[in-house]
Amino acid sequence: MMSYYALQVKTRGEDKYIKLFRALHPEITLEIYFPQRKLDIRRKGATIPSETPIFPGYIFIELGEDDTIINYHWAFRKTEGFYRFLRSNQNITPLADKDLEVVLHFIKKVGPVAGKSKVYFDENSRIVVIEGPLMGLEGKIIKVDKRKGRAKIKLDLYDDSFSIDLAFEVIGAVS
């Protein structure tokens, strides 16, 4: 059974942290995840594709059943950009229950970058997800913007609750 841990690092410095960690500790071959999403952003009439983090300021580590976070604790802490382990540096706990479910949805089912979901709207104008990152998250959708092709979903991680936009494209007729 794998266990997953969350690290808080400098926001917008997640990639830099992972590269620096790998350079400083080439002997550590753990899986480190930084889930991102693709969105088309319209600026000055032009559509610009962008990749933004799903969990800004957080990266996730996968440990095997024989591994323990204590083996790598100081390596992560001493890398520039590190803020803390979640729950806290004194109480490092693996992700569990709903937290683990949400994170695994993005790192295992969706992959490193969440693209567009394929959806249609039923006769009651409710969104129905056919495939993509929104699949399985329908109950977490709090707002749909048909014009921009985005669904705002509410995610919970530990005691924080935040919302993010995920892109979708409509398949079939829109009522």
Q: Is residue 23 domain-shared with residue 87, that is, in the same domain?
A: yes
CA distance 150 to 137: 14
Q: Is residue 137 domain-shared with residue 87, that is, in the same domain?
A: no
Q: Is residue 96 domain-shared with residue 120, that is, in the same domain?
A: no
pLDDT at 173: 58
Written as one string, the DSSP assignment of 95-121 is: --HHHHHHHHIIIIII-SEE-PEEEEE
SS3 131: strand
pLDDT at 38: 92
* Number of structural domains the chain divides into: 2
Q: Which of 127, 152, 146, 147 minimizes the C-alpha distance to 37? A: 152
Residue 117 CA, chain-centre distance (Å), reads 15
HSE-CB at 130 with a 13 A cutoff on CA atoms is 11
Q: Is residue 106 domain-shared with residue 96, that is, in the same domain?
A: yes
Q: What is the pTM for the complete model shown?
A: 0.87
pLDDT at 20: 97
Q: Is residue 163 domain-shared with residue 90, that is, in the same domain?
A: no
Task: Please check whether residue 39 is in contact with residue 150, taking contact to mean a CB–CB distance below 8 angstroms.
Answer: yes
> For the chain, first and last CA: distance in Å?
45
- Greatest C-alpha distance within the chain: 56
The CATH number of whichever domain residue 21 belongs to comes to: 3.30.70.940
Q: Is residue 99 domain-shared with residue 130, that is, in the same domain?
A: no
pLDDT at 79: 96
The strand pair at 46-53 and 160-170 is best described as unpaired
Q: Is residue 72 domain-shared with residue 134, that is, in the same domain?
A: no
Query: What residue has token string 């000055």?
Result: 44
Q: Is residue 61 domain-shared with residue 131, that is, in the same domain?
A: no
SS3 133: coil
Q: Is residue 53 domain-shared with residue 11, that is, in the same domain?
A: yes
Q: Is residue 81 domain-shared with residue 158, that is, in the same domain?
A: no
Digits of tens for pLDDT over the chain (175 positions)? 899 999 999 999 999 999 999 999 999 999 999 999 999 888 888 989 999 999 999 999 999 888 888 889 999 999 999 999 988 888 899 999 989 999 999 998 888 899 999 999 888 888 899 999 999 888 899 999 988 889 999 988 877 888 999 999 998 754 4
Q: Among residues 83, 99, 115, which one ends one of the domains?
A: 115
pLDDT at 133: 93
Q: What is the domain extent for residue 164?
A: 116-175
Q: Among residues 115, 132, 151, which one ends one of the domains?
A: 115
Q: Which of 96, 78, 75 minimizes the C-alpha distance to 3? A: 96
pLDDT at 111: 85
